[in-house]
Amino acid sequence: MIKAIGKHKGLLLAALVTMLVQVGAALWQPSYMKQILSVMADTSLSLNGKVDKISNYGVALIVIAVFGLVGSILNTITAAKIAQVVSADLREMTFRKIQTFSYADIEKFNSANLVVRMTNDINQIQTLLMMIFQVLIRVPLLFIGAFILSIITLPQLWWIIIVMVVLIVLVTGLAMRIMGPHFASFQQLMDRINAIARDNLRGARVVKSFVQEKNQAQKFDKESDDLLQHNLAVGYTFSTMIPAFTIISQLAIFVAIVIVSTLVTKSPAVAQDQLGGIMSFIQYMMQIMFAIIMGGMMSMFASRGMVSMGRIREVLDAETSMHFDTTADEELDGAIEFDHVDFAYPNDETPTLKDISFKIDPGEMVGIVGATGAGKSTLAQLIPRLFDPTAGTVKVGGKDVRHVSQNTLKRTISIVLQKAILFSGTIAGNLKQGKPDADDTDMNRAAQIAQASEFINRLPEGYNAPVEERGNNFSGGQKQRLSITRGIIKQPKILILDDSTSALDAHSEKLVQDAFNRELSATTTLIIAQKISSVVHADKILVLDAGRLVAIGNHKALLASSEVYQQIYATQKGQED
Ligand SMILES: Nc1ncnc2c1ncn2[C@@H]1O[C@H](COP(=O)(O)OP(=O)(O)OP(=O)(O)O)[C@@H](O)[C@H]1O
């Protein structure tokens, strides 16, 4: 953060200078008030003499006030600018950092939580920065300046200032103690509220079809009411704090006036000076009170801002759990090898994969089957290094994936995930995520294999057709075909299809498979499938059961030897019949 602020030295200086002008003007004004009142009470001056002097002081007062006003406006503008540019820098730094996170890092933080950090937490920091550059230096300067000047103005009343300061500090301290814990809860509640809202909106179709609106609303209301309670507690404390300050200051003013009147009555000789002084004294008292209140407010925003700053620092300082070798990019073949691989998800104690070993030769078509939750997707995600195994090694082209460059892995492997995720933009934009320099020929070739060209060509804008947020303007099957197109466009050596034809009808699925056999015969293809019919022709089938590889072989061999495979086959056959 200091680095981010340090980049804007010119603005920092401007904020400082304008703040000093503002404080100077505020502290200077009361002394002129004192002069004006002293002139009025001066019996030795003629009326004309008094008018002349008062006019001069009046002009000086106006000039100082104008300086103060201009200083204040410019300070607000510069403070706002610093707060905005620094928070924009922080937001961009945070986003860039998140882009370097591995899949495991994102899981660890949780994506809703990261969104809150990039929005709400950055806003809190922006407010804090604005406060810092408007009041941080102003508060102590104003406090010390007004304190000294008030005592110089009416030395007899020093103790009133001390008593007032002690009382205000006590009230402010008490209020902070009451409000502090509520601030600490704000951010956690915001995380929870955001997570509910995000899940609800993302899963809008599920919510509607299961008529879950009421449940969702109740869940949301509970968290929102919690937040309300904390907000109310802060509000109530705040609303008692302000009248308490008013009472303290009015009492102090009252006592000061009573004492000055008594002094004046007792010794009229000093009346002129005392009377002039009381006005300035009251103004300084107000400034002291203002400084303490501003200090209190500042510490309130600071406590919220510091929590947010801590949360942003956590992201910026996070060591990514995955480091890629900086070795030169290389050409790897499509061989895959798992050697005694164990894997447990972050924050999960029980391993999802246990002691998995197998070899796949380049160009083979391999099926992976197993009951739901057996670990098929997890196994596939270790090949492109979305996660690292907790034990054992995963090799691609004969090399441990931890010792090849990220670019090499990206070029060699494509994974088409179970859930077809498209980004808003155009079809071409989405396909180019697979190969940035893809031309029309590349797109056409890939789309034909994935059986997507038929519906893309029917769209008036073809490859430039718009894709809405999360690809919502396409059907499930179309989204899957577009994802497959994106996966094969770069002609990878290894293609992993994680249940990626599940939304296609049997005929379309057959067309995709035939096209794969024809066009991608040199590509190692891993097909994770729910249906055995999707992998019967595979060279090999891996059978997973509760995280273990229980059998490996072709369909015929497995039917003869694997009990788990026989069971799956029997259930599915029953369903088909
Ligand atoms: N991101 C994750 N964090 C923690 N646990 C996970 C995560 N993803 C999956 N799991 C757990 O790992 C196990 C294996 O999940 P996986 O998705 O690999 O199974 P699968 O065989 O592909 O299932 P399906 O056929 O239903 O897709 C499951 O018990 C699941 O709960």
Residue whose CB lies within 8 A of the most ligand 1 atoms, among 105, 321, 369, 376, for a mutation test: 376
Q: Is the pLDDT of residue 273 over 70?
A: no
CATH number at residue 453: 3.40.50.300
Answer whether residue 422 is part of any domain: yes
- SS3 per residue for 25-40: HHHHHHHHHHHHHHHH
* Integer Cα distance of 169 and 299 in angstroms: 12
208 CA distance to ligand 1 middle (Å): 26
Buried b (16+ CB within 10 A) or exposed e, 188-216: ebbbbbbbbeeebeeeeeebeeeeeeeeb
* Residue with CA nearest ligand 1 atom 31: 373
Q: What is the pLDDT of residue 395?
A: 95
Query: Beta 548-553 vs 540-545: how paired, if at all?
Result: antiparallel
Q: Which pLDDT score, from 0 to 100, does residue 539 have?
A: 93
Give the distance (Å) from ligand 1 centre to CA of residue 347: 14
Residue 28 has pLDDT above 80, yes or no: yes
What distances in angstroms separate CA 541 from CA 367, 389, 474, 558, one per listed residue? 4, 22, 32, 8
Give the pLDDT confidence of 367-424 residue by residue, as tens digits: 999 988 899 999 999 999 988 999 999 999 999 999 999 889 988 999 998 788 888 8
ipTM: 0.95
The total number of structural domains in the chain stands at 2
**Do 140 and 273 reside in the same domain of the chain?**
yes
What's the whole-model pTM score?
0.67
Same domain? For 494 and 442 the reply is yes
Domain match, 269 and 126 both: yes
* Final residue of a structural domain among 290, 317, 344: 317
The residue contributing the CA closest to ligand 1 atom 24 is: 372
In a domain, 327, yes or no: no
Same domain membership, residue 360 and residue 297:
no
CA 370 to ligand 1: nearest atom: 21
The pLDDT of residue 3: 73
Domain shared by 127 and 199, yes or no: yes
- Same structural domain, 196 and 231: yes
The answer to whether 449 and 516 are in contact (CB under 8 A) is yes
Q: Where are the alpha helices (DSSP H) in 42-137?
A: 47-100, 103-109, 111-116, 122-131
Mean pLDDT of 17-24: 89
Q: Tell me how far the alpha carbon of residue 357 lies from the centroid of ligand 1, in angstroms.
A: 19
Domain that holds residue 434: 336-576
318-339 tens-digit pLDDT: 887 777 778 888 889 999 999 9
Q: How far is the CA of 125 from the centre of ligand 1 (A)?
A: 38
Three-state SS sequence of 271-313: HHHHHHHHHHHHHHHHHHHHHHHHHHHHHHHHHHHHHHHHHHH
- 253 pLDDT higher than 50: yes
What confidence tier does 94 reach under pLDDT thresholds 50, 70, 90?
Answer: very high
Nearest-angstrom CA–CA distance, 421 and 265: 86
Distance (Å) from CA 404 to ligand 1 centroid: 27
Burial of 250 per CB tally in 10 Å (0-12, 13-18, 19+): exposed
Strand pairing class (391-396; 540-545): unpaired
356 and 276 in a common domain: no
Spell out which residues line ligand 1, taking CB within 6 angstroms.
107, 345, 348, 352, 370, 372-378, 418
Ligand 1 atom nearest residue 375's Cα: 18
Average pLDDT, stretch 525-551? 91
- Residue 364 contacts residue 540 (beta carbons within 8 Å): yes
Token pair, residue 371, equals 């009951």
- State residue 205's pLDDT score: 64
pLDDT band at 363 (very low <50, low <70, confident <90, very high): very high
> Is position 561 within any domain?
yes
Separation of 362 CA from ligand 1 center, angstroms? 27
